[in-house]
Structure formats: C-alpha cells, structure tokens
Amino acid sequence: MEYEAIIGLETHIQLNTETKIFCSCKADSWNDPPNTNICPVCTGLPGVLPVLNKAAVEKAVLLAHAMHSEIRPVSYFDRKNYFYPDLPKGYQISQYDQSLAHGGYLDVPMRDGEMRRVSIHKLHIEEDAGKTKNEQGRRLIDFNRCGVPLIEMVTGPDIRSAEEAAQYLIRLRQLLRWLGVSEADMEKGHLRCDANVSIRPKGADYLNPKTEIKNVNSIDAVRQAIETEIKRQIRAVEGGGKVEAWTLSWDEDSGTLSKMRSKETEADYRYFREPDLLPIHMDEAWKSEILAAFPELPLERRTRFMAEYGLPAYDADLLTAERSLSDYFEAAVSAYGGDPKRVSNWLLNDVMRMLNESGKTAGELRLTPQFLAEIIKMVDKGTVNTPTGKGLLEKTEETGKSPREIVEAEGLGQVSDSEAIRQICAQILADNPEQVARYRGGKTGLLGWFMGQVMRATRGKADPNTTRRILQELLDTSA
C-alpha cells in the first residue's frame, strides 16, 4: 500500500516590537539575564491591568494582509486557561473564535518549479509564556518572555512532505523579514513551529488521527522530524497498530521523537473572553494607515525582476531573498543604465561575498548602489580592468570614497595604450629568452606566465585583452 502524508503547520512568530504586548517591559531579552525584563503586569500579580501595544496590532495586520487573510473589523481577546509553572497568571491572553484575521494563503515555490498554495486557517495575536529549564536537579523559571507579542498562524492540512514543510517555512521566514514584522530567527525562538502529521492511503479523502510534533527549532529539524514521524506512522499501521493522537517532542541531538502527553482538546482550556481588554476595532481608516506603506512582496518582485530585467529565475530568486538586497539591485541598475544581468553578476558574485563576510545587509554597505554602478561603468569603458574593478569594491567599502576618486588618487587607471604595452611586452621577452624559447618550442601554456609578468610590471593596470594580443603577436611572429 502506498501512503501519503497530511501535514499542517502551526507557527508562533515573535513580533519585533520594542515593548511587550500588554506592558512596557522590553520585548527582546535574548542577551539579558533571567527575570530582568519583568513587571507586575507580565508576571500576573493581582490588581494589574493589561494595556494593548498598538504596534503589535499593526504588525499583525501587515502580516495578515500579506497572507491574503480577511481582517475582522472587530476582534476579541480570550483567556486560554491552563496550569504550567512558566505561566504565572494561570491563563494566556490569546484570541479564540473572533481572532484578528482568518483565511488566506501563502504561495510556496517548490524546488521542481511548481507552486504549492498553502491555506491559512487561523491567524491570531497572543502573548508568550516564560521558559523553564532543569539545572542540577532543580527547575528554573525565566519570566522574561512572558508577554512577548506573538502571532500564531495555523495552516490547513495542505502540505504533503517534509520538504514542502521546509519550503513553506523558508518562504514564511523571508516574508516576515521582508515585512519587517519579525527577525524570524528560529535559533532564537522568533519563529517556532509545531507540525501536525498524519498519513492515509494515497488517494483516500478521509483524515486519520494526527500527532503533533513540538520543539523543532530549525528548518533542518522540521524536515528530519516530519520525515521520521511519517516513517513511524507507516510502520505502526503496517504492523497492524494504529496512530494515536499524541504530542511528540523532537530531540535534535539524537534525532528521535518521544511522547510528551496525550493531546489536549480545546475544551480543556475553558476559553472565555478576556474581561480586562477592549475588543480591537480595526476600522478602514486605521487599516489604510497601516497598509499605506505595504511593500511589493518577494514573489511579486521575483516575477517582475524576470519580466522587467530579463533575469533568469535563479538570479531573481537570490536577489529577492532579502528586501534590502533587492532594493540595492534596483538602485544599482538604475544608476548603471546598462544590462541588468551585468549588475546581477557583480552583485551575486562579488558583493554577496562581502555581505556574507561582514554580516551586513546590502543597505548598510558603504559601497552604495551608485558606487557599484560607477565601478562597472569604468570596467565597461576600459578605464580600469576587471581585477582592478573587483579590488575597487573592497577599497570603496573600506574608505567610503567614490571609486573614481580612488582610481585617481592611486593611479589605478588601466594602461590601454597599445604602444606602451608593446614596449613593456618586448622588454619582458628580451629579459626572458629561456621562457621565450620554451614557448616557441611548443609550451604555449606559458602565455599565462608572460601575462602575469606584464601585469606585475604594470601593477595590474594593463588591459588584459590588448596585452594578450600583443604578446601572442610578438611570440608567434618573430620566431
């Protein structure tokens, strides 16, 4: 029997607001000692009242709009009641039946070029809980994360493989950063994912009980954990057993799943309306204010780059991986005025390496798009040769000076005067009679060695094409 997997993902996205969702404690405490960003509100002391952070709602609306979700004109907060040591209030403020948004989808390009549309069932705002850890036989609690604003987003059961789940997360992460609503760093817990997995005979239209995998903290872990769980369920069913609705925890180090508990049902949480908060009234005026600066999204921009600039999909994909890089590209193309593919090549080969090495984003470079365009133009015109042009990238980045200024100050202009090059070539041949004899004896690979000598003599400034032509002429004809 052949099986297919039915996978839905629940993601928790940490919004990158300055402060927490219901108090003015700092939201991001990644580098802070435990229990230093807390107050009576986020630790649930009696007699305090939560006040909603407007910025969290606005970021949630940006995300909902990007997911093509319908935003409710009025949405409510609810209490999700459960007991756990990292939840001092005894309930989490969340949204239940009337959440900020519902419906929508994310289109995910797959590796084979196909597009998979993953539906979004639910999108709501909630607060995070704290963290617990075991140390030397004791349970330690850190409340710093209590009250950090989260978006929980639940997909429909539309994902069919571990790889598709990974691609969904890659695109979601790209989108979150693009919109500027979350740092989306999985290692830091900004983007967390639980996976619901079930299997059924291929072609069947019913759903079997699903398991929920928790504690998957990287895209690779998601891929591996789902793969492992699909195989486990197939083995269970083929062995005559059944799959029970368990909650499983992924252990990254051993690559295994272990049972945490039987899955709770919603009734276990005794949801009811949060009495301390007013509903969110998202009127048209506020919504249009939030969406006024809504950007062109990565996939739209990718399509446009291919159509408008004639770029291959590969280039368009890389250039739109990150918003500031794609803005940089467009600014450089406009300053350059020539073939966009040429700008793409310089960016993807050389500037990308600088970005990777420095950890900067394209927008932070001192090598501005205008400076990059200037360098490419100088190479095109033969003012400098290609290796000098590449060297100029680093020099411009280091000094912040215009490439033209650097060329003038350092005398880097290319020697393209063929008479001058001819004299230098002739001198080098005269100085190296042995190599000349070997070349003429058939070792024509030595041409590269002669090229190197000319470049050394001119400090890299000789035009390579002219040099090669003259060297060949001198070596081949005076034999």
H or E stretch including 104? none
Closest approach, Cβ 291 to Zn ion, in A, equals 29
Closest approach, Cβ 47 to Zn ion, in A, equals 14
List the interface residues with Zn ion, window 317-376 (CB under 5 A).
none
Using CB under 5 A, pick the residue from 26, 35, 39, 185 that binds Zn ion.
39
Q: Which residue, 45 or 420, is less far from Zn ion as judged by CB?
A: 45
Q: Which residue, 20 or 323, is less far from Zn ion as judged by CB?
A: 20
Q: Which residue, 86 or 350, is less far from Zn ion as judged by CB?
A: 86
- Cβ-based neighbour number of residue 391 at 10 Å: 17
Residue 23, interface with Zn ion (CB under 5 A)?
yes
Tokens of 470: 């003259």
Q: Which residue, 5 or 42, is less far from Zn ion as judged by CB?
A: 42
Alpha helix segments (H runs only) across 415-461: 418-431, 433-440, 447-457
With beta carbons less than 8 A apart as the criterion, state whether 208 and 157 touch.
no
Using CB under 5 A, pick the residue from 42, 165, 184, 319 that binds Zn ion.
42
List the interface residues with Zn ion, window 403-462 (CB under 5 A).
none
* CA-CA-CA-CA dihedral for 194, 199, 205, 210, to nearest 10: -40
Q: Which residue, 41 or 333, is less far from Zn ion as judged by CB?
A: 41
Closest approach, Cβ 25 to Zn ion, in A, equals 3
Closest approach, Cβ 146 to Zn ion, in A, equals 7
CB-based burial label for 7 (10 Å; 0-12, 13-18, 19+): buried
Stretch that binds Zn ion, among 41-49, 90-98, 169-177, 200-208 (CB under 5 A): 41-49
Residue 129, interface with Zn ion (CB under 5 A)?
no
φ, ψ (nearest 5 deg) of residue 42? -80, -10
Using CB under 5 A, pick the residue from 9, 13, 15, 25 that binds Zn ion.
25
Cα–Cα distance measured from residue 140 to residue 221, given in angstroms and rounded to the nearest whole number? 26
Cα–Cα distance measured from residue 126 to residue 80, given in angstroms and rounded to the nearest whole number? 10
Residue 148, interface with Zn ion (CB under 5 A)?
no
Is residue 265 classed as helix, strand or coil in its secondary structure?
coil
Q: Which residue, 39 or 55, is less far from Zn ion as judged by CB?
A: 39
Stretch that binds Zn ion, among 19-27, 118-126, 270-278, 445-453 (CB under 5 A): 19-27
Stretch that binds Zn ion, among 5-13, 22-30, 158-166, 424-432 (CB under 5 A): 22-30
- Cβ-based neighbour number of residue 29 at 10 Å: 19
With beta carbons less than 8 A apart as the criterion, state whether 187 and 217 touch.
yes
Q: Which residue, 47 or 113, is less far from Zn ion as judged by CB?
A: 47
Rounded to 5°, angle at Cα 100 from 98 and 101: 95
Is residue 94 classed as helix, strand or coil in its secondary structure?
strand
Closest approach, Cβ 386 to Zn ion, in A, equals 57
Closest approach, Cβ 294 to Zn ion, in A, equals 31
Which residues touch 42 (CB under 8 Å, ≥6 apart)? 20, 22, 23, 25, 127, 143, 146, 147
Closest approach, Cβ 39 to Zn ion, in A, equals 3
With beta carbons less than 8 A apart as the criterion, state whether 418 and 466 touch.
yes
Q: Which residue, 46 or 240, is less far from Zn ion as judged by CB?
A: 46
How many residues of this chain interact with Zn ion, rule: CB under 5 A?
5
Stretch that binds Zn ion, among 40-48, 116-124, 409-417, 464-472 (CB under 5 A): 40-48
Stretch that binds Zn ion, among 39-47, 394-402, 446-454, 461-469 (CB under 5 A): 39-47
Q: Which residue, 125 or 213, is less far from Zn ion as judged by CB?
A: 125
Phi/psi-derived region of residue 382, left when phi > 0, alpha when psi is between -120 and 50, beta in every other case: left
Closest listed residue to residue 424, CA positions, set 387, 458, 472: 458
- Cβ-based neighbour number of residue 422 at 10 Å: 17
Stretch that binds Zn ion, among 24-32, 179-187, 316-324, 349-357 (CB under 5 A): 24-32
Q: Which residue, 42 or 151, is less far from Zn ion as judged by CB?
A: 42
Give contact residues for Zn ion (rule: CB under 5 A): 23, 25, 39, 41-42
